Amino acid sequence: MDATHAVRLDGVSKRFADSYAVHDLNLDIEAGRFFSLLGPSGCGKTTSLRMIGGFTDPTEGSVLLAGEDVTALPPDKRNVNTVFQSYALFDHLSIADNVAFGLKRKGVQKAEIRRRVGEMLELVQLDGFAARRPRTLSGGQRQRVALARALVNRPAVLLLDEPLAALDLKLRRQMQVELKQIQREVGITFVFVTHDQDEALTMSDRICVMNEGRVEQCGTPEDVYEHPASRFVASFMGTSNLMTGTYRDGTVTLDQGPALPVGPRTAIADGTAVSVSVRPEKVWLSDFEPGMSMQRGVIRETVYSGPTTTYLIELAPGVTLSVLEQNTARARMEDRWSGGETVEFGWRPEHCLVLA
């Protein structure tokens, strides 16, 4: 048994009535990692997290923590803590007492409690807030109290179920960076649940993409974004420009449209119906390189969004690609395309991915 795995799920399934919320989940989470479970609503993220925490019993399979089978153990016998989406702070207690709660219950000595609570409040940058009440704090501050309250117990693993979901976008982005920094500082394994792909990409060392109770792909953020293993992953992670066609000899002929040379991929039989995908930021609109796959299309829409401009380009009837350009200092606004113009564009063949 490999004890460096903080969490291992071995063939874990959960059935509610007649349907599986989680189906044959196999996961190895290395100690010290920031690990995310990512997927759309209802795909089984919370159920998976609850099975790691001991709040839900698996129908099949086993849960291991640091190499020990804990499937039959209740939550309080597992060396994990959970931060839920609703922070569930005690409003009649001060911030310091909220953080101290678990330690008091465990009978830790007063001086030790004071020291550790002080340390934690410093870690989450709430040193000056010890005496305040939760309702006098902002959403982001309350979120950090909830985090401190869980971390103060020094669990081996911290489970976080969409802890940032209630925050507005700006605060959310800020907390993403802070949470990642805190995780690095304390070195505790984080298992983080989110349905937000940007959040998962920003924060994680490893991402497990789930769909309908099953794992679609596990890997680094770069793996799942640059090399999606399925059509689902490609479309769930950002914008993908999915097209369908038929594979033959390193080329995919679109159902409606041109033949596109595609990146290397083994074991596709000629004549197979496939999806292909090109990321919007992998398409070039100027300064082409030799060897590019060149196309021609009509600009249907120009969408300016500050740092970037998105063009919707019709490649063939019914096939419209989203193309992203950075509005850098060197890009000239007057060079931007407008609707109706015919343009040339291209991409490196390896950026045209085949998805079986």
Ligand X SMILES: Nc1ncnc2c1ncn2[C@@H]1O[C@H](COP(=O)(O)OP(=O)(O)OP(=O)(O)O)[C@@H](O)[C@H]1O
Residue 36 or 46 with smaller CB distance to Mg ion? 46
Smallest distance from the beta carbon of 253 to ligand X, in angstroms?
Answer: 37
Helices (H), the chain: 45-53, 95-105, 110-123, 139-151, 169-186, 197-203, 221-226, 231-236
For residue 346, give the nearest of 285, 281, 260, 299 by alpha carbon: 285
Which residues have C-beta within 8 Å of that of residue 253, sequence separation ≥ 6?
245, 246, 259, 260
Smallest distance from the beta carbon of 346 to Mg ion, in angstroms?
Answer: 41
Amino acid of residue 283:
V
Between the two ends of the chain, the Cα-to-Cα distance in Å is 35
For residue 298, give the nearest of 262, 266, 353, 345 by alpha carbon: 345
Q: In sequence order, what are the beta bridge partners of 319?
A: 316
Residue 189 site contact among ligand X, Mg ion, none (CB < 5 to 8 Å, cut-off depends on kind) = none
Half-sphere exposure of 201 (CA within 13 A, CB side): 12
- Of the candidates 8, 13, 27, 46, which one interacts with Mg ion according to CB under 5 A? 46
Smallest distance from the beta carbon of 351 to Mg ion, in angstroms?
Answer: 34
> Which of these segments, 40-48, 152-160, 177-185, 221-229, binds Mg ion (CB under 5 A)?
40-48
> Which of these segments, 39-47, 64-72, 288-296, 308-316, binds Mg ion (CB under 5 A)?
39-47
Smallest distance from the beta carbon of 45 to Mg ion, in angstroms?
Answer: 5
Q: How far apart are CA 327 and CA 304, in angstroms?
A: 9
Residue 209 site contact among ligand X, Mg ion, none (CB < 5 to 8 Å, cut-off depends on kind) = none
Which residues have C-beta within 8 Å of that of residue 122, sequence separation ≥ 6?
none
Residue 46 or 176 with smaller CB distance to Mg ion? 46
**Closest residue to Mg ion: CB criterion:** 46
Residue labelled with tokens 């000899």: 249
Smallest distance from the beta carbon of 85 to ligand X, in angstroms?
Answer: 8
Residue 46 or 322 with smaller CB distance to Mg ion? 46
Q: Is 57 helix (H, G, I), strand (E, B) or coil?
A: coil
Residue 280 site contact among Mg ion, ligand X, none (CB < 5 to 8 Å, cut-off depends on kind) = none
> Which of these segments, 41-49, 74-82, 301-309, 343-351, binds Mg ion (CB under 5 A)?
41-49
Residue 24 or 350 with smaller CB distance to ligand X? 24
Residue 44 site contact among Mg ion, ligand X, none (CB < 5 to 8 Å, cut-off depends on kind) = ligand X
Residue 5 or 45 with smaller CB distance to Mg ion? 45
Residue 39 or 346 with smaller CB distance to ligand X? 39
Residue 44 or 297 with smaller CB distance to ligand X? 44
What is 162-190 written as a DSSP string? Answer: STTTTS-HHHHHHHHHHHHHHHHHH--EE
Residue 161 or 325 with smaller CB distance to ligand X? 161
Smallest distance from the beta carbon of 49 to ligand X, in angstroms?
Answer: 8
Count of other CB atoms within 10 angstroms of residue 354: 19
Contact 29, 67 (CB under 8 A): no
By CB under 6 A, name the binding residues for ligand X: 16, 21, 39, 41-47, 195
> Which of these segments, 42-50, 216-224, 276-284, 318-326, binds Mg ion (CB under 5 A)?
42-50
**Is residue 322 at the binding interface for Mg ion, with CB under 5 A as the rule?**
no
Q: How far apart are CA 203 and CA 191, in angstroms?
A: 11
Chain contacts with Mg ion (rule: CB under 5 A): 46
